[in-house]
């Protein structure tokens, strides 16, 4: 049975922008994978988790700090990663150059701790302006939105350098109009379907 780690932020956790709670296992994209019954799957999503910025909320919320705990204690055939959008929060004030360096270091960390795992990078969707009319305007601003339009090359570079698979979510879905940041059920279904295609191709 193939072992899969799904690691990331609130869109891996399955945050519901309507109820502001967690989607059920049959709705969130990572949960759907576990319901197939053919994978040994570990869900490791966390609301507000950053990739490379030191999150004041603590260890579990800072991707590069908590990730080794998963990789040192287990081995995985596949690691599916969706992370980085929270590093664009206004409080971190990262430049695009900072983002490229930070996300590059994050994925090199995976290569170091899990050199034999096949890694699928989910490049996040552009943040919609709707975020400014939601609760999350406390965290994201116009600059965050603009930067989100220009981060794909950083993921492309990381994928190429580490020989990882890149899936650009912008190619087939967008974030919810509710908060401009998270996904609705039909969007999670699309992500699940595209991830399944890649896993099946690599098996």
**What are 119's strand-pairing partners?**
79
**What are 44's strand-pairing partners?**
7
- How far apart are the C-alpha atoms of 33 and 21, rounded to whole Å? 20
Contact 10, 45 (CB under 8 A): yes
pLDDT value for 114: 98
Which secondary structure element, helix H or strand E, spans residue 16, and what is its range? strand 15-16
pLDDT value for 56: 97
Least Cα distance to 53 among 20, 88, 18, 78 occurs for 88
- Tell me the CA distances in angstroms from 132 to 91, 105, 139, 177, one per residue in order: 15, 30, 9, 11
In 39-181, which ranges are E strands? 39-45, 78-82, 118-123, 165-168
CB atoms within 10 A of CB 102: 20
pLDDT value for 4: 97
pLDDT value for 1: 85
- How far apart are the C-alpha atoms of 149 and 151, rounded to whole Å? 6
pLDDT value for 73: 85
Domains for the chain: give ranges and CATH numbers.
Answer: 2-202 (3.40.50.1110)
- How far apart are the C-alpha atoms of 179 and 156, rounded to whole Å? 26
pLDDT value for 34: 87
Q: Could you give the residue ranges of the DSSP H alpha helices within 96-184?
A: 96-113, 142-148, 152-162
- How far apart are the C-alpha atoms of 83 and 48, rounded to whole Å? 10
In the chain (203 residues long), the average pLDDT of successive 10-residue segments reads: 96 97 97 87 97 97 97 95 98 98 98 97 98 97 98 98 98 97 98 96 75
- How far apart are the C-alpha atoms of 133 and 195, rounded to whole Å? 31
Sign of dihedral through CA atoms 15, 21, 26, 31?
A: positive
CA 19 to chain centre: 21
Which secondary structure element, helix H or strand E, spans residue 29, and what is its range? helix 29-35
Residues listed for the chain: 203
CB atoms within 10 A of CB 156: 14
pLDDT value for 142: 98
């Amino acid at each position: 049975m193939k072992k899969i780690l799904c690691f990331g932020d609130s869109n891996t956790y399955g945050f519901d922008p309507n109820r502001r709670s967690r989607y059920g296992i049959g709705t969130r994209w990572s949960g759907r994978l576990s319901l197939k019954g053919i994978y040994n799957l570990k869900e490791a999503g966390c609301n507000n988790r950053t990739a490379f910025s030191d999150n004041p909320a603590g260890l579990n919320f800072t991707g590069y700090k908590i990730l080794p705990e998963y990789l040192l204690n287990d081995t995985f055939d596949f690691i599916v990663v969706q992370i980085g959008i929270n590093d664009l929060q206004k409080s971190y004030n990262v430049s695009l150059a900072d983002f490229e360096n930070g996300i590059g270091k994050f994925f090199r960390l995976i290569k170091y701790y899990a050199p034999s795992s096949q890694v699928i990078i989910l490049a996040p969707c552009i943040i919609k302006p709707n975020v400014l009319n939601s609760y999350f305007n406390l965290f994201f601003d116009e600059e965050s939105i603009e930067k989100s339009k220009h981060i794909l090359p950083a993921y492309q570079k990381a994928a190429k350098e580490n020989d990882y698979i890149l899936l650009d979510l912008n190619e087939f879905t967008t974030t919810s109009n509710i908060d401009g940041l998270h996904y609705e059920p039909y969007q999670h279904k699309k992500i699940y379907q595209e991830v399944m295609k890649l896993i099946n191709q690599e098996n």
